[in-house]
């Protein structure tokens, strides 16, 4: 299979700290890759560079053979990439439906001028956005809540909503920063189910996660970071038996 994403010698320095240190890895089409590592290992910083939120100090990211590094954040949707955040980024005062429709508008690029005058393209875009939003709300079992204010949902449902917004425009690569954080067992299983369902449809995932059972269940391959460096890479089976990984997690119940 072809490489969808290639991370080459990616490095980020914050003053004297090297948060990410010459990381190399690739992700194939249809693959689910997890990034794990102890707190402060550099996982979020790595994610922020891949998704163009911060520039690297050196190194680059290639997506479908083209340089992703240096692009604007809004361009990512058009390239078929989306991401979620460790801290929820939903709009509490908007309804569930409006939150998800916002996700489509990022892709459809309705401009403020034409929206103000309700031009025909805008109307058409709204219909598309509405239909896509309904489909995704059905998939993540949020349709019954679509007219509720997002801020009134439980934390678990808000995580589902953020996930819905990230997938609504049918991205090919989805970056998830701790999708299971704060979820109970039932909610974690539900979220894992959605990821598996999308994988079957050909989506690729790169995700950071601390819940090892989920990582072991979902990942085709795991990248392990410690102090900014990649210390191991392999299948869940290989990683669970890797000495370097076990010692990096010493004192924690990782596996
Ligand atoms: N904006 C910043 N300025 C200075 N240092 C930073 C900044 N962002 C991250 N760091 C430092 O870089 C290192 C890696 O942090 P990062 O948040 O990427 O780790 P992480 O693996 O995602 O941790 P966690 O699992 O706790 O979320 C840490 O030492 C952190 O303090």
Helices and strands (H and E) in the chain: how many: 10, 10
Q: Residue 171: which of 217, 132, 222 has the closest Cα?
A: 132
Q: Do residues 218 and 154 share a domain?
A: no
Going from the Cα of 50 to the center of ligand 1, the distance in angstroms, rounded, reads 15
Q: Do residues 249 and 132 share a domain?
A: no
Provide the domain count of the chain: 2
Q: Do residues 194 and 230 share a domain?
A: yes
Q: Among 170, 195, 228, give the residue marking a domain's end.
A: 170
Q: Do residues 57 and 109 share a domain?
A: no
Q: Is 20 in the pocket of ligand 1 (CB under 6 A)?
A: no
Q: Do residues 10 and 34 share a domain?
A: yes
* Closest ligand 1 atom to Cα of 54: 1
Give CA–CA dist 216/57, Å, rounded.
32
Phi, psi of 96 (to 5 degrees): -60, -45
**55-112 confidence digits (pLDDT tens):** 999 999 999 999 999 999 889 988 999 999 878 889 999 999 999 998 887 766 644 4
Q: Which two tokens stand for residue 21?
A: 């240190």
* CATH number assigned to the domain comprising residue 153: 3.40.50.300
For the chain, how far is it from start to end, CA to CA, in angstroms? 30
**177-235 confidence digits (pLDDT tens):** 999 999 999 999 999 999 999 999 999 999 999 999 999 999 999 999 999 999 999 99
> Is this model's pTM higher than 0.80 or not?
yes
Q: Do residues 1 and 72 share a domain?
A: yes
Q: Whose CA is nearest to atom 26 of ligand 1?
A: 39
Q: What is the ipTM of this complex?
A: 0.96
Residue numbers of the domain that contains 235: 1-80+172-255
Q: Is 248 in the pocket of ligand 1 (CB under 6 A)?
A: no
* Closest ligand 1 atom to Cα of 38: 25
Going from the Cα of 98 to the center of ligand 1, the distance in angstroms, rounded, reads 32
């Amino acid at each position: 299979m072809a490489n969808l994403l290639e991370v080459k010698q990616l490095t980020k320095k914050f003053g004297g700290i090297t948060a990410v240190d010459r990381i190399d890895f690739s992700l194939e089409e249809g693959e689910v890759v997890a990034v794990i590592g102890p707190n402060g290992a550099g996982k979020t910083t790595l994610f922020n560079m891949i998704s163009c939120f911060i520039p690297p100090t050196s190194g680059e990211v290639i997506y479908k053979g083209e340089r992703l590094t240096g692009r604007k954040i809004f361009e990512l949707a058009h390239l078929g990439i989306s991401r979620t955040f460790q801290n929820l980024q939903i709009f509490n005062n908007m309804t569930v439906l409006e939150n998800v429709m916002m996700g489509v508008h990022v892709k459809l690029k309705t401009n403020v001028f034409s929206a103000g005058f309700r031009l025909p393209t805008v109307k058409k875009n709204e219909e598309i956005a509405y239909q896509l939003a309904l489909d995704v709300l059905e998939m993540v079992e949020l349709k019954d809540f679509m007219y509720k204010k997002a801020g009134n949902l439980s934390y678990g449902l808000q995580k589902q909503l953020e996930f819905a917004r990230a997938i609504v425009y049918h991205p090919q690569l989805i970056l998830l920063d701790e999708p299971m954080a704060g979820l109970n067992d039932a909610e974690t299983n539900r979220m894992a189910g959605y990821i598996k369902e999308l994988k079957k449809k050909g989506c690729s995932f790169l995700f950071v996660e601390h819940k090892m059972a989920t990582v072991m269940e979902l990942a085709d391959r795991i990248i392990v970071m410690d102090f900014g460096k990649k210390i191991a890479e392999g299948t869940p089976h290989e990683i669970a038996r890797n000495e370097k990984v076990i010692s990096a997690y010493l004192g924690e119940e990782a596996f």
